[in-house]
Every structure is written in structure tokens, then in C-alpha cells.
Amino acid sequence: MIDQFPLTWIPPADETLRAPVRAFLREVLGSRSPATRARSWMEFDASFSRALAEQGWLGLTLPREYGGGGRSPFARFVLVEELLAAGAPVSAHWIADRQSGPLIARYGTSAQKAFYLPRICAAEAFFCIGMSEPNAGSDLASVRTRAERTGNGWRLSGRKIWTTNADRSHFMIALVRTSGTPEDRHRGLSQVIVDLFAPGVHIAPIEDLAGDRHFSEVTFDDVQLADDALIGTEGAGWEQVTAELAFERSGPERIYSSVVLLEEWLRTLRVAGLAGNEVARSDRRALGALIAELSTLRELSLSVTGRLAHGASPATEAALVKDLGTSFEQSIPAVIADALGARPFQRPDGDLADTLAYVTKVAPSYSLRGGTREILRGMIARGLGLR
């Protein structure tokens, strides 16, 4: 398995993107509290997404003829690093840019590419993904939502759950069963594009522990889809969704969800040091361990990005990075809380306390979104030939 993660470097042409992105973010975002910046993944701001699109930074990897940047996955890697480090509100365009657009570019018809890709690149079309279902979770092979052929298209019935931004998106790419039964597992699955404003689509937001309502349950009551709603080949949905999940699971977003909190803790330790207060050896040791792990995970993520740049579909490697990355992200608030708890009579900085409180609430979701830890480890085991 080691030889599947060759050392990889960001090409200089893509690294040069970093400076203008940083300058843009400083100008557009201004001063934001760390607790606000920590919401980067979940903060929906269509105007920010449009501003990013005006810079030509949405759809960086999509073909130029459809409004994309025609650049390599390394360019998007640089962009995502800077967006998350700045705590930019990326939620509106996130899924369309990261996976829906590349999926359509790879499997879509000429008409689908011409319609959807320019709108994605202009931040005029936001997507959500319909994979998980009630009583199924991340076991995608047990999908029950069904699309049946009609005289002029498809009739869609079923439910999806934990669908991020369904109530704010224009379209969903749904994994559905077009033949067979759930007992057939992978066989008979297909992907369709659903207009979320179509009659029969009902969206019910779900409030989470942090008080946010970015998840939804979506019900399809005999929704009529056009014949061209199908993406790719009927019955090839499992192969397609596996390729899609490689885009979803491989990027730096799987290691940087808690990076604003880590940065804020580092800032408070520096302030303490500059004020002449000795930083505890245990804090230095814990901080060093986190940074060393982050550096290693970044190299793994870069390696997977390199394989994507060469046209591979590294599903197993992406699942491994996602599993390791989310474990790391979840450890950050725990480590910092333990460090602060070791000195209960020293009141933590207000920004640090607020950021820690928020990240602690949302961190359990890190190992759920994009596939649960248990499902991922099953995939990894199969990829290694262990089951």
C-alpha cells in the first residue's frame, strides 16, 4: 500500500495561485471572528460564491469550453487550502464545485455539460448529493429510492436524508435504483439529476447539535423527471458514485475542518509566550504532535491529488486519507480541551473558548459526512484484499 502514496509536489504554476487568492480573501472577508471562520464548511453565502466565480476560481478543473479553468486538481488543492485557512464561507458552491461538476464533466451528455457546467462555474447552480437514506445511512448499496421509466422520462419515489443544503440548492444528484431490489446491492443503481423545485419534492431541514440547519430529509412523491435526467449509463451508478466519492474524500477539506481552532490555540500560546508566561511543556508537545500529523496527512492528500491529476480513480486511497483525516480533525478539540482543562483556574481567551465550543459540537459529524468510519474501513479492507 505504501507505493500507492508516492511523494508529490504542487507544480509551481499552481502554487502561484496562492498569493492572489490570499489577497482576494483579505479584501473580501475582512476581519471575522475565529468562531465565525470555524464555520467555513457550513456557512452558506451565495454572494461570496459569486465573487469567487468572478475571479474564475469556481470550476477550476472543469473544461474551459464550459466556463471552467481547465486546470489540474493541484490548482484546486491550493484554492481549498487557502479558503479553509481563511475560514471562507464555502458551503453554497462546495458540492457543485468539488464533485457534481467533475462527475457531470466525466459522465454527462453533451447537453448536460452545456447546461450545468457553465452555471456551476458562475455560481448560478448549487448542488446537493442524494446518497444516504433512512435506515441505510452510508450503506449505499441498500438504496431503495427508485426511478422507474415512463413514456417520456422517469418517475422518482423515495427518501434521502442528511442531505446538506438541500433546502438552498437548485439540483440534486441522486443515487437511485432503476432495476432490481435492494437485495441486488450494487446492481441496478443509477444516478439522476433532480430539479429540487419540481412538483413532488418535499424538503424538511434538520437542526443539529450546534443549532445549524444545513441537513435535510428529502422526500420524492412521484416526481417526474425528463428522459435526460440520467447521468452516464443506466445501472452503472455504483461505479460512477465510487468515482465521485474519490473527489469528495481526497481533498484537503478532510484534514482542515478544525484548522481555525488549531490556529487560534497556537495564537494564544504565542501571546502567552510574548507576555513572558512560560508555555507548558505538555502544550508544546501536544501542539507539535498535531502539526506533525497535519503535515503527514497533507502529504497523503497531495499524493491522492496527484493520482487524480493523472486520471486515476483512487477510491481506496481517498477513503484511507478521509478516515485518517477525520480522526485527526476530531482529535484537535479534544487535545485543546484537555490542555485548557489542565489549568482550570486560568480563564481561556474568549475567541479560543468560543471557537472550541463550536468545533466540539460539530466534530462528531466529521466521521459521518462523506461516509461513516465503519463503511470507509470496510472499503479500505476490500481495497487491500482483506475481505
Residue 378, pLDDT > 90, answer no
pLDDT band at residue 38 using 50, 70 and 90 as cut-offs: very high
Q: Is position 242 within any domain?
A: no
Over residues 160-180, the mean pLDDT reads 93
Of 235, 260, 280, the residue that ends a domain is 235
DSSP letter at 202 equals E
The CATH number of residue 277's host domain is 1.20.140.10
Q: Is position 162 within any domain?
A: yes
Q: What angle do CA 257, 40, 64 make, to 5 degrees?
A: 100
Residue 312, pLDDT > 80, answer no
Q: Could you identify the residue written with the cell 419515489?
A: 157
* Beta-strand runs (E) in 227-292: 230-231
Record the cell numbers describing residue 63, joined without a space: 473544461
Record the cell numbers describing residue 344, joined without a space: 482550570
Counting residues of the chain whose pLDDT is more than 90, the rounded percentage is 61
Q: Is position 259 within any domain?
A: yes
pLDDT at residue 287, as a whole number? 94
The strand pair at 201-206 and 189-195 is best described as unpaired
Q: List phi, psi (to 5°) of 323.
A: -65, -50
**Do 267 and 347 reside in the same domain of the chain?**
yes
The CATH number of residue 83's host domain is 1.10.540.10
Q: Is position 10 within any domain?
A: yes
Residue 250, pLDDT > 70, answer no
Over residues 58-65, the mean pLDDT reads 95
**Do 172 and 96 reside in the same domain of the chain?**
no
pLDDT band at residue 2 using 50, 70 and 90 as cut-offs: very low
Cα 226 from Cα 241, distance rounded (Å): 21
How many domains does the structure of the chain reveal? 3
Q: Is position 214 within any domain?
A: yes
Residue 372, pLDDT > 50, answer yes
Rounded to the nearest integer, the mean pLDDT of the chain is 89
Domain holding 265, by residue range, is 251-383
Cα 93 from Cα 76, distance rounded (Å): 13
**Do 329 and 288 reside in the same domain of the chain?**
yes
Counting residues of the chain whose pLDDT is more than 70, the rounded percentage is 94
pLDDT at residue 336, as a whole number? 96
Cα 112 from Cα 280, distance rounded (Å): 58
**Do 284 and 330 reside in the same domain of the chain?**
yes
Q: How large is the angle between the packed helices 259-274 and 315-341, nearest 10 degrees?
A: 40
**Do 266 and 158 reside in the same domain of the chain?**
no
pLDDT at residue 137, as a whole number? 59
**Do 263 and 360 reside in the same domain of the chain?**
yes
Helix (H) / strand (E) containing 133 = none
**Do 45 and 163 reside in the same domain of the chain?**
no
**Do 139 and 203 reside in the same domain of the chain?**
yes
Over residues 322-344, the mean pLDDT reads 91
**Do 286 and 367 reside in the same domain of the chain?**
yes
* Dihedral (Cα; 378, 250, 132, 163), 10-degree rounding: 160
Over residues 75-101, the mean pLDDT reads 94
Taking only the tens place, the pLDDT of each residue in 288-305 is 999 999 999 999 999 988
Cα 175 from Cα 177, distance rounded (Å): 7
**Do 194 and 218 reside in the same domain of the chain?**
yes
pLDDT band at residue 248 using 50, 70 and 90 as cut-offs: low
Q: What angle do CA 27, 29, 35 make, to 5 degrees?
A: 150
Q: Is position 240 within any domain?
A: no
Q: Is position 285 within any domain?
A: yes
Over residues 346-354, the mean pLDDT reads 87
**Do 273 and 344 reside in the same domain of the chain?**
yes
Name beta bridge partners: 189.
177
Residue 184: CB partners within 8 Å, gap ≥ 6? none
Q: Is position 243 within any domain?
A: no
Half-sphere exposure of 187 (CA within 13 A, CB side): 4
Give the number of other CB atoms < 10 A from CB of residue 11: 15
Q: What does 138-155 look like in DSSP terms, one character per residue?
A: T-GGG---EEEE-SSEEE
Of 125, 153, 174, the residue that ends a domain is 125
Query: With contact defined as beta carbons under 8 Å apart, do 267 and 287 qualify?
Result: no
Of 67, 93, 125, the residue that ends a domain is 125
pLDDT at residue 184, as a whole number? 66
Higher pLDDT, 110 or 31: 110
Taking only the tens place, the pLDDT of each residue in 111-140 is 999 999 999 999 999 999 998 888 775 666
pLDDT band at residue 309 using 50, 70 and 90 as cut-offs: confident
pLDDT at residue 87, as a whole number? 94
Q: H helices of 16-154, where? A: 18-29, 34-37, 46-54, 73-86, 91-95, 101-107, 110-121
Residue 199, pLDDT > 60, answer yes
Taking only the tens place, the pLDDT of each residue in 224-243 is 999 999 999 999 988 888 77
Which sign, positive or negative, has the C-alpha torsion 330, 331, 332, 336?
Answer: positive
Over residues 158-162, the mean pLDDT reads 93
Radius of gyration of the chain (CA): 21
The CATH number of residue 176's host domain is 2.40.110.10
Over residues 72-86, the mean pLDDT reads 93
**Do 152 and 220 reside in the same domain of the chain?**
yes
